[in-house]
Amino acid sequence: MSKFIASPASTLSGELKVPGDKSISHRSIMLGSLSHGITKVSGFLEGEDALSTLKAFQAMGVKIEREGDNVTIHGVGINGLKKPEGPLDLGNSGTSIRLMSGILAAQAFDCELIGDESLSKRPMGRVINPLKDMGAVIDSNDGKPPLKITGGQQLTGIHYDLPVASAQVKSCVLLAGLYAQGDTCVTEPAPTRDHTERMLKGLGYDVRVNDNQMCLTGGGELTATEIQVPSDISSAAFFMVAACIAPQADITLLGVNINPTRTGVIDVLKLMGARLTTSNQREIGGELLADIRIQSSELKGIHIPESLVPLAIDEFPAVFIAASCAKGETILTGAKELRVKESDRIQVMADGLSILGIENEVLDDGIKIQGGQFQKPTAMIESHHDHRISMSFAVASLRCDYPIEINGVDNVMTSFPNFVELSNSAGLNIVEV
């Protein structure tokens, strides 16, 4: 198990390109595999999570070649997957297991989906329930992985009202809907990332979006295309916060995905007073990209609008570091989902902030953070093997006069394999030991 030692630093500069978007990388493998023809993907995230999806589809007979971040998928068509020889190990990846359940519930073969210790604790009832309503047969360990899916079921389309704003559940149901008889519709309580809908359309599938409802009709086909994966705003977020809090910072993040269902972190930081501007906006393959410039900022505490929560759901660990450096109190509510991510991100962040002397109060569905000065750490920070917790506390070193030690950072590899290298090239001082 490795740890980060993040030593004090104060300057951040340069033009940085963070790796490809994790959500889009997963979907490129899944939908490329189910397409007719060859899908060429560039900018693919070479992180462990996306590679778990890639290996799982290889194990189901799809020929997939990878050279760095270029991936070639020889699609097998919607009904071309083969029974894997053993259980599909999806590692740490919630997106893989939840989206793939939708696809696998409709196959002719049985299969088993397993994951690591963290994934094995995460709730799967949210996908099992709608899939069962569609006719799927799935066994679980009391609503948690492993998931044992019995194949050979004819699924029927449903109209599903999402009980939580979750793109993973929405995508799972829509992917099952590709195989279902009739129409499948999902209604979401608040907008969530829409990469599945965009990519399905890009591959020629008719997805009808009306306000907060997405519908498709089963039985169609997908046609291969080229997919360029933009940089991941969730990875860029660490540098946005880093630049805001660093005493001297002026950085530009290149080619970041600014899909409006993902830009909550930009809105939150701007409300806090961030000096952040976007430029060079362009559209590539149905996704919006821009360059984002961020300079040192005097942040102020805010009550984060609940409407922004699903649009920034993965960025809150980093936002909490920004809040710790802001003047006054920041309050987050309506974010209970953070408790069932790769770790309980409310509690784990609160524990780490307390170690750095930042006053905070844990709420059932959020947190209150009193901006202040990071103190000499009273202990090593435990990341609970959560990649985003590790990276967030590493960034805090830009405002701490003492080295910060963060334990269990191995999972940074799941989403941001070159985090240390890129951070240090911009001015941070992180060593992994």
Q: Which is nearer to ligand S3P, 9 or 338 (CB)?
A: 338
Which 3 state secondary structure label does DSSP give 164? coil
Applying the rule CB under 6 A, the residues between 290 and 319 that interact with ligand S3P are 313-314
361: which strand partners? 368
CA 133 – CA 150 distance, rounded (Å)? 15
CB of 147 to ligand S3P, least distance (A): 16
Torsion, Cα of 230, 235, 239, 245 (10° steps): 140
Which 3 state secondary structure label does DSSP give 136? coil
Which window, 56-64, 161-169, 199-207, 365-373, contacts ligand S3P (CB under 6 A)? 161-169
Which 3 state secondary structure label does DSSP give 321? helix
C-alpha R_g of the chain: 21
Q: Which is nearer to ligand S3P, 3 or 26 (CB)?
A: 26
Which window, 76-84, 104-112, 166-174, 298-306, contacts ligand S3P (CB under 6 A)? 166-174
Q: Is the bond preceding residue 260 a cis peptide, omega within 30 degrees? A: no
Q: Which is nearer to ligand S3P, 12 or 332 (CB)?
A: 332
CA 27 – CA 326 distance, rounded (Å)? 36
- Does 193 help bind ligand S3P (rule: CB under 6 A)? yes
- Does 171 help bind ligand S3P (rule: CB under 6 A)? yes
Q: Which is nearer to ligand S3P, 405 or 410 (CB)?
A: 410
Chain centroid, CA 299 distance in Å: 25
Residue 392's H or E segment, with its range, is helix 387-395
DSSP one-letter code for 310: G
Q: Which is nearer to ligand S3P, 137 or 190 (CB)?
A: 190
Whether the Cβ atoms of residue 15 and residue 254 lie closer than 8 Å to each other: yes
Q: Which is nearer to ligand S3P, 95 or 392 (CB)?
A: 95
CB of 68 to ligand S3P, least distance (A): 22
Q: Which is nearer to ligand S3P, 23 or 383 (CB)?
A: 23
Catalytic residue among 21, 49, 291, 314: 314
Which residues fall within 8 angstroms of residue 11, CB to CB, at 6 or more apart?
246, 247, 248, 249, 427
9 to 38: interface string for ligand S3P, x by CB under 6 A: --------------x---------------
Active site residue 133: no
Nearest to 17 by CA among 249, 230, 281, 226: 230
Which 3 state secondary structure label does DSSP give 364? coil
Question: Token pair 């899939």 is at which residue?
Answer: 131
CB of 26 to ligand S3P, least distance (A): 6
Applying the rule CB under 6 A, the residues between 314 and 373 that interact with ligand S3P are 314, 337
Which window, 29-37, 76-84, 163-171, 243-251, contacts ligand S3P (CB under 6 A)? 163-171
Whether the Cβ atoms of residue 287 and residue 257 lie closer than 8 Å to each other: yes
- Residues 177-190 as b or e (16 or more Cβ within 10 Å = b): bbbbeeebbbebeb
Whether the Cβ atoms of residue 266 and residue 292 lie closer than 8 Å to each other: yes
Which 3 state secondary structure label does DSSP give 141? strand
Among 28, 168, 257, 390, binds ligand S3P (CB under 6 A): 168
Which window, 84-92, 162-170, 240-248, 315-323, contacts ligand S3P (CB under 6 A)? 162-170
Which residues fall within 8 angstroms of residue 211, CB to CB, at 6 or more apart?
none
CB of 218 to ligand S3P, least distance (A): 21
Give the pairing of strands 213-217 and 183-187.
Answer: antiparallel
Among 34, 54, 167, 186, binds ligand S3P (CB under 6 A): 167
Which window, 160-168, 224-232, 295-303, 405-413, contacts ligand S3P (CB under 6 A)? 160-168
CB of 49 to ligand S3P, least distance (A): 9
Q: Considering CB under 6 A, how many residues would be counted as binding ligand S3P?
A: 10
Q: Which is nearer to ligand S3P, 64 or 127 (CB)?
A: 127
- Does 397 help bind ligand S3P (rule: CB under 6 A)? no
Catalytic residue numbers read 314
Interface ranges with ligand S3P (CB under 6 A): 23, 95, 166-168, 171, 193, 313-314, 337
